[in-house]
């Protein structure tokens, strides 16, 4: 019996010992797991603390690309050139404020005629439209314009045919033209850009062009004089007066509040027929071009091909320039005396092509 009791005691002690070992093992495993967890948490927290916080992404505003306003430089809309009567007495012009370039050149009798260039605008009334003179073609061709007129001189007729000019002549193509019965003929013919385009399409003329650009425009304001140049030869140009002949004078007054030039014809405000406002222009280009009489009617010819002098005028100042043209259809180049190209302000431009003998006053 004693033997059995002893054996039971030994067995019981052995079981207790085993249980203790198992318990210690579990406890050790438990503490090991806790330790590992704490270590992992510690390292994760350390990484979070050391890692620099990334700034929240802020939405970026789209970059605004400045574009000029006078024309759409991305458009291949083909320009339209319209001959404008400038011998109309008290009747005023329509459309000369909406054209982005205008040319004025002497014709017979000491009078002048205007050619207006339109692009990227719907102009509802243009005129009065008048007949062609051959040297105007040179300035239409260099811009690849559809040339629009009502009649022509014999020289213009020959040139239009020989040079294969895309033209619309109201004497033949009457559809895009209307007459204002309140104005005496022949100073009463008017048209519009849409009428010209519609008729040009019927004549199978292209309405697009990749060769229209003439002047180089600046998005940023061009200021004269150039204060960075010690040799700048700009002069004040608050008043401009041009005598085309004994009977025809054109003048401009600088409006410093609006930064453009108000136009006068023979001392009177040049008024737009539709708005009743005085015509005004951001840029004025003066070109001195030799002219001569070529027939008994007093018709003129101009040395459009070659070189000459002139001025670029904007924002109250004028700067001497040189112009050059190598062929009748090539583009006229405008450069300053130092050889740099003339960059013009974003705005409409009046190009006054004047006889070399004209009396020009800039002050």
Strand pairing partners for 317? 236, 314
User: What is the CATH architecture assignment of 80-362?
Assistant: 3-Layer(bba) Sandwich (3.50)
Among residues 295, 286, 306, which one has the least CA distance to residue 156? 295
In order of 4, 12, 19, 283, the CA distances from 217 in angstroms are 120, 108, 98, 11
Q: How many CA atoms lie within 13 A of 45 on its CB side?
A: 6
Tens of pLDDT, residues 74-109: 999 999 999 999 988 656 899 999 999 999 999 999
Overall residue count recorded for the chain in this entry: 363
Q: What is the pLDDT of residue 236?
A: 97
Mean pLDDT, residues 276-302? 97
Q: What does pTM read for this prediction? A: 0.82
For the chain, domain boundaries: 1-53, 80-362
Q: What is the DSSP string of 60-73?
A: PPPP-----SSS-T
Beta bridge partners of 241: 251, 361
The beta strand positions in 315-355, using DSSP E, are 317-325, 333-336, 343-345, 349-354
CB 188 within 8 A of CB 181: yes
- Within 13 Å and on the Cβ side, how many CA atoms surround 92? 17
Instruction: Band the pLDDT of 45: cuts 50, 70, 90.
Output: low
| 58-72 CB burial, b ≥16 within 10 A, e <16 | eeeeeeeeeeeebbe
Residue 155 scores a pLDDT above 60: yes
User: Tens of pLDDT along 198-236?
Assistant: 999 999 999 999 999 999 999 999 999 876 666 789 999
Hunting for tokens 């406002």 — which residue is that? 277
Q: Is pLDDT of 298 > 60?
A: yes
* Cα 362 from Cα 286, distance rounded (Å): 11
Quick check: 314 and 283 in contact, CB under 8 A? yes
């Amino acid at each position: 019996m004693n033997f059995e009791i002893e054996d039971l005691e030994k067995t019981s002690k052995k079981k207790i010992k085993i249980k203790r070992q198992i318990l210690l093992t579990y406890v050790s495993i438990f503490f090991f797991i806790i330790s590992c967890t704490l270590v992992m948490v510690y390292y994760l927290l350390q990484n979070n603390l050391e890692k620099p916080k990334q700034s929240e992404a802020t939405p970026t505003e789209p970059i605004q690309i400045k574009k000029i306003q006078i024309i759409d430089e991305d458009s291949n809309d083909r320009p339209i050139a319209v001959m404008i009567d400038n011998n109309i007495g008290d009747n005023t012009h329509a459309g000369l404020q909406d054209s982005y370039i205008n040319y004025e050149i002497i014709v017979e009798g000491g009078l002048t005629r205007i050619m207006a260039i339109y692009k990227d605008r719907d102009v509802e009334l243009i005129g009065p439209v008048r007949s062609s003179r051959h040297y105007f073609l040179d300035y239409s061709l260099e811009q690849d314009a559809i040339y629009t007129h009502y009649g022509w001189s014999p020289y213009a007729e020959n040139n239009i045919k020989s040079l294969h000019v895309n033209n619309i002549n109201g004497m033949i193509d009457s559809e895009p033209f209307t007459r204002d019965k309140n104005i005496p003929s022949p100073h009463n013919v008017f048209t519009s850009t849409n009428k010209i385009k519609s008729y040009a399409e019927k004549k199978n003329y292209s309405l697009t062009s990749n060769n229209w650009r003439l002047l180089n425009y600046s998005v940023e304001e061009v200021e004269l004089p150039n204060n960075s140049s010690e040799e700048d030869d700009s002069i004040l140009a608050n008043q401009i007066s041009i005598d085309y002949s004994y009977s025809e004078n054109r003048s401009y007054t600088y409006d410093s509040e609006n930064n453009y030039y108000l136009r006068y014809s023979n001392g009177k405000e040049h008024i737009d027929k539709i708005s009743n406002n005085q015509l005004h222009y951001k840029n004025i280009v003066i070109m001195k071009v030799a002219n001569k009489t070529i027939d008994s009617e007093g018709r003129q010819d101009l040395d459009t091909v070659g070189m000459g002098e002139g001025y670029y005028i904007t924002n109250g100042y004028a700067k001497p320039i040189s112009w050059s043209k190598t062929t009748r259809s090539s583009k006229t180049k405008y450069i300053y005396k130092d050889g740099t190209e003339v960059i013009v302000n974003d705005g409409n431009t009046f190009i006054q092509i004047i006889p070399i003998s004209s009396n020009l006053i800039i002050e």
